[in-house]
A and B are shown apart, each in its own frame.
Chain A
Amino acid sequence: MSAPTQTTARGAAASSPDAAPRGFLGRSTRRWLLLAAGLVLALVLPWVIYPPVAMDIAAWALFAVALDLLLGYAGLLSFGHAAFWGGSAYVAGLTAVHWGLPFPLAVLVGAVFAMALAWPIGMLSVRRSGIYFAMVTLAFAQMLFFVVNQWRGLTGGENGLQGVPAGFFGVEAVEREAFWFYYAALPMIIGGMWLAWRVVHSPFGRVLVATRDNPARARALGYDVDRYRVMVFVISAGLAGVAGGLFAISHGFVSLQEVAWQTSGKVVLITVLGGIGTLWGAIVGAVVIVILEDQLASSGFDGIGIITGSVFIIVVLLFRRGVWGTVADAVARRTGRRPADEAVGAADGEDGR
């Protein structure tokens, strides 16, 4: 049924020395240039954009990368990732409020919480796939939403958790100014993205793509497919947790919105818009959507959903494989190479429409 069309975990160039004569140098150089451009952009972002928005972009980008790890590479569509983003946001916020932890530590505690939460949820949901997996993850996320909403004494209920400090070892610039906070948070964002890249280009990543493309064969080769799925689910939740924790602390409060289903939906939208199975696409999607929402919000327009929804529909109809997937494809075609190069993916199970 789900015979995903274009994807592969084509890893380091070293694993395909055959590609060397024509493409090796060019591709490798292009990859490094891309990385350098991405880093430069990340570094100048708060100079060109209002720093709190820059921070939002960074957090959502990591969140989307985390989701892409699951959706693009394992072929699992989670519709409950707000549980990990938001769950971590609350735990990070609470530890910062009550224990006065410096924010990187608070965020790590939040991420560990997200992973601990993801373990049982993953075990129970990876047995299902497709729409059932999405529904089971959504159901668990809704349970967390319910708990957070009810437990007012701890979470503040609908008012959210107020007054979360951004402690940073007494460095006042970071603790007070969004501009400097961004730079203090950036290593965690980039570290998270690096981890996602590492996972994709690891032996584990190879197996993951195999379990996505043909689980029965992967099992026949001796791979315990569910174990791989649980593992990537937990890793993805951890990265989503880092992103959510940083997001909450940068805002100084945790809103109930962070555990709401709309947040799960938004990250899926961002990832699909950017192009799944590429990691870069998730980042592009976050940049587009967060800036768009910010522009619309500051213009006083109150139909943000209409606009982002329309953009999403247009992009998905025009570029079936998202912005990044389509661009990468075009580049690959022009240089006469296999488009599957960057694991440009469509694990959407729409048998090659």
Chain B
Amino acid sequence: MTHADLETAAEDAPRGTVALSARGLTKDFRGFRAVKEVDLDVAEGEVHALVGPNGAGKTTLFNLLTGFIKPTAGTITVHGTDITGKLPEQIAHEGVARSFQITSLFDNLTPREHLELALQGMAGGGMRFWRSDRTLLRYRGRADELVEQVGLTALADRPAGELAYGQKRALEMALVLALDPKVMLLDEPTAGMGREDVERTIELVRRIAAGRTVVFVDHNMHVVGSLAHHVTVLMAGEVLARGTYERVRTDPRVISAYLGEESHA
């Protein structure tokens, strides 16, 4: 990390309680270092964007933060609790929920059933093999609210495999919401969406961000600019810059390294 980086980091260090923090987070894939000593601090209530060119290590960082892969080195804390090395399901119960860049659903379950499953996942009770699955009906009310929140009411009983791309992304979002997380990690929530859906998603994230901490990855600078309080720029696994959107956007290194690449992408 360069001196300039540290300065920026200090200036824009989040005030208030730190919700999510990583120190020296590193991941090697068979000798290839996908994430290099990343430090990250996200304040409670903040909406934080993680940007960087393809292959920068953003998804890998999310995978590290949510326990899907184990860090080679470094630590992760959530609201002061060390979650390094914990399993994904344990981290979910610590109040950290993630969405997937590549939509990851249960093709044969309807949106409603997805949400019932998610709600039960947090409430517990999934081990009860002696009960009727009608007990899941107790989550129906909340599930329907969530379905409505992401605009899927008309499709609530359609198998997810039959939904259109944008609808799947919406369901992906609803699943994260269903966990009622303190910290949400959204991996490219607007990827592949048309302008209208992008606007709707921005609105949705803004609404659900209230009272939560959000970290999201997005290649769409309009989305980043509309939502993020702070931005971290990742490049080849390293933090290249961080700060407010305005500051990062005008950072010459970022322009040459990232935005330059974006413009002809």
Instruction: State A201–B129 Cα separation when bound (angstroms).
Output: 8
Compute the total of residue contacts between A and B using a CB distance below 8 Å: 133
CB pair B109 A8 closer than 8 Å:
yes
Q: Is the CB of B134 within 8 A of A12?
A: yes
Interface residue B249 (Cβ < 8 Å from any Cβ of A): no
Q: Interface-forming stretch among B48-56, B92-100, B220-228, B250-258? A: B92-100
A220 x B97 contact (CB < 8 A): yes
Interface check A119, CB cutoff 8 A? no
> A216 CA to B120 CA in the complex, in Å?
16
B127 touches A227 (CB 8 A): yes
Query: Quick check: is B173 within 8 A (CB to CB) of the other chain?
Result: no
Complex Cα gap A204–B130 (Å): 8
As a 0/1 sequence over residues 212 to 250 of chain A, the CB contacts with chain B under 8 angstroms (1 = contact) are 011011111111110110010001000000000000000
User: In the complex, what residue of chain B is closest to A201 when comparing beta carbons?
Assistant: B133
Contact with B along A135-172 (1 / 0, CB 8 A): 00000000000000000000000000000000000000
Give the interface residue-count category, chain B.
Answer: 35 or more
Mask: chain B, 103-121; 1 = CB below 8 Å from A; 0 = not:
0111111100100111011
Shortest distance from the beta carbon of A199 to any chain B beta carbon, whole Å: 5
Contacts of A15 in B (CB 8 A): 113, 133-134, 136-137
Q: Could you mark each residue 170-211 of chain A with 1 if its beta carbon is under 8 Å from any beta carbon of chain B, else 0?
A: 000000000000000000000000000011011111110110
In the complex, whether B246 has a CB less than 8 A from a CB of chain A is no
**Cα–Cα, bound, A9→B109 (Å):** 8
Q: Determine if A340 and B108 form an interchain contact, defined as CB atoms under 8 angstroms apart.
A: yes
Whether, in the assembled complex, B191 has its beta carbon less than 8 Å from a beta carbon of chain A, the answer is no
Given contact pairs A18-B157, A220-B98, A221-B121, A205 touches B108 in the complex (Cβ within 8 A): no
Confirm or deny: A306 has a beta carbon within 8 angstroms of a beta carbon on chain B.
no
User: Is B179's beta carbon under 8 Å from chain A?
Assistant: yes
Contacts of A12 in B (CB 8 A): 132-134
Tell me which residues across on chain B come within 8 A of A10, comparing CB atoms: 108
A8, A19, A219: the one within 8 Å of B87 (CB): A219
B146 to chain A, nearest CB (A): 13
Would you give the 0/1 interface string for A1-20, flagging 1 where the beta carbon is closer than 8 Å to chain B? 00100111111101110110
Separation in Å of the A272 CB from the closest CB of chain B?
Answer: 20
Q: With A205-B133, A207-B126 known to touch, is A217 a contact of B89 (CB < 8 Å)?
A: no
Q: Once bound together, how far apart are the Cα atoms of A204 and B105, in whole Å?
A: 18
Enumerate B134-186 residues with CB–CB distance to A below 8 Å: 134-137, 156-157, 159, 175, 178-179
> Within the assembled complex, what's the spacing in Å between the Cα atoms of A227 and B89?
11
Inside 8 A of A204's CB, which chain B residues have their CB? 126-129, 131
Q: Could you tell me if A210 and B129 are in contact, using CB atoms closer than 8 angstroms?
A: no
Bitwise, B204-221 to A at CB < 8 A (1) or not (0) is: 000000000000000000
Interface centre among A7, A11, A199, A210 (most CB of B within 10 A): A210
Whether the pair B133, A9 counts as a contact (CB closer than 8 A) is yes
Q: Tell me if A338 is interfacial: C-beta within 8 Å of chain B.
A: yes
**Cα distance A217–B107 in the bound complex, in angstroms:** 12
Q: A201-B133, A217-B100, A224-B89 are in contact. Are A210 and B127 (CB under 8 A)?
A: no
Is A210 a contact of B109 with CB atoms below 8 Å? yes
C-alpha gap A207/B87 in the complex (Å): 18
Interface size class of A (residues with CB under 8 A): 35 or more
Choose from B104, B122, B137 the contact partner of A214 (Cβ within 8 Å). B104
* B126 contact from A198, A203, A217, Cβ within 8 A: A203
Q: A217-B100, A228-B126 are in contact. Are A203 and B87 (CB under 8 A)?
A: no
Q: How far is the CB of A154 from chain B (nearest CB, A)?
A: 34
Q: How far is the CA of A223 from the CA of B116 in the complex (A)?
A: 13
A227 to B135, CA, bound (A): 21
Is B232 at the interface (CB under 8 A from chain A)?
Answer: no
Q: How far is the CB of B248 from chain A (nearest CB, A)?
A: 29
A189 and B93 CA atoms in complex are apart in Å by 39
User: Are B131 and A202 in contact (CB-based, < 8 A)?
Assistant: yes
User: What distance in Å separates the Cβ of B206 from its nearest Cβ neighbour in chain A?
Assistant: 23
| Nearest-Cβ distance from residue B179 to partner chain A, whole angstroms | 7
Q: Judging by beta carbons under 8 Å apart, are A220 and B133 in contact?
A: no
B114 CB to closest chain A CB, in angstroms? 9
Q: Is B189 an interface residue (CB 8 A)?
A: no
A207 closest partner in B (C-beta): B126
| Neighbour of A217 across the interface among B104, B113, B116, B133, CB < 8 A | B104
What is the CB-to-nearest-CB distance from B23 to chain A, in angstroms, rounded to a whole number? 24
**Contact call B179/A213, Cβ cutoff below 8 A:** no
Given A201-B133, A216-B68, A222-B93, are A210 and B106 also a contact pair (CB < 8 Å)? yes
Question: Are B137 and A14 neighbours in the complex by a CB distance under 8 Å?
Answer: yes
Closest to B135 in A: A203
Contact of A198 among B68, B130, B157 (CB under 8 A): B130
Chain A residue nearest to B94 (CB atoms) is A222
Q: Is the CB of A231 within 8 A of B87?
A: no
A219 touches B88 (CB 8 A): yes
Subset of 24 A-B contacts with CB under 8 Å = A3-B107, A8-B108, A11-B132, A11-B134, A16-B110, A16-B157, A18-B157, A199-B129, A202-B131, A203-B126, A203-B127, A203-B128, A203-B129, A204-B131, A206-B120, A207-B126, A214-B104, A220-B88, A221-B89, A221-B121, A224-B89, A227-B127, A235-B129, A338-B159
| List of 4 A-B pairs having minimum Cβ-Cβ separation, nearest first | A8-B108, A204-B129, A11-B133, A222-B121
What is the interface of chain A, defined by CB distance below 8 A to chain B?
Answer: 3, 6-12, 14-16, 18-19, 198-199, 201-207, 209-210, 213-214, 216-225, 227-228, 231, 235, 338, 340
Beyond A203-B135, A203-B136, A221-B117, 16 additional pairs, beta carbon < 8 A: A11-B136, A15-B137, A18-B156, A203-B120, A203-B126, A205-B129, A206-B113, A206-B120, A207-B126, A213-B107, A217-B100, A220-B66, A220-B92, A221-B118, A221-B178, A223-B121
